[in-house]
Structure 1
Amino acid sequence: MQVLSPAFTNGSGTSAFDTKATGADFRTGTDDTKFLTSKSVFDAAAPVGLTDAATVAVDLASGQNFTLTLAGNRTLGAPTNAKAGQSGVITITQDGTGSRTLAYASAYKKPGGTLTLSTAAGAVDVLSYYVETGGGSPIIRLGLSKAFS
């Protein structure tokens, strides 16, 4: 995806980029023939709900920012479609029971080796991530901000 004005020309006086990228185009990051607008960038950043499961699947081509409500003790699965330099947040909410735990696939690297979520019912924590290396064996750096009200 190239960030250029639609007025950019290809040398013959016609627009080289005459198709606007969507938020989905931006998230997948695979098409460099479309131009970006501020709307498509913000659309790409809209939170995407993750499906609660024993192992939570994270497809980084489907979003930058995610939400997850824990209804049991879970594992954050190794992400798919990780691209080096990608970053965002996962907002994690404890369900009405609380005391849910989150384990992490080995791709996730945590400061001090561990991250412990808030345990109160309804507690909201924000997990920030940065993709250091993408591809088939990604390295994802994590940080945790806890107990938002």
Structure 2
Amino acid sequence: MKKYVLSFLTMTMALSSGAAFAAETGELVKQNVKLTFEAPGVIQHDISAGADTFIAGVLLPNTNLATGSVKTNVTVNAIRVNFSGGESRVISPTLITAEFTGSGGDALKVGIPGSDGVDAGVLIRKGADDTSFEYKINSVGDQVITPGEYVVNVTAQAWND
């Protein structure tokens, strides 16, 4: 047993004395990098009416009723817009339309023109990647509009293809 204890002590001393010969040979240099993560596709979407009030009666085709503005936190090549809450239809690859019922019970037909259609919506492009886009909401076809309030709902989404 003494033999094993002596061997153990000898090994312990050899290992600890070896550590005494190790020394730092250079300066310790610390560096850091700041990494920032943003949420993908965060957008701001606003819609402004083309006038404070419109006059009920005959509404001519392509009357500008409102303008939408979309800003993103990342550069994209388009935004996708679609009507929400109304009966939405893709009329052509560059136009989506919908009907929204007013407070008097009658329908208002509106459309959003764009550059090309995708997923029951339309893409709004500027010709170059950007973070800010606008679109128009226009009347569709000849209509006779009764007095009342008509709420038009539009969704917008940042888009890259």
Q: Tell me which interval the TM-score lies in, with the shorter structure as reference length.
A: under 0.3
* Structure with greater contact order relative to length (CA < 8 Å, sep ≥ 6): 2
Bigger Rg over Cα = 2
Compute the TM-score of the two structures, normalised by the length of structure 1: 0.27
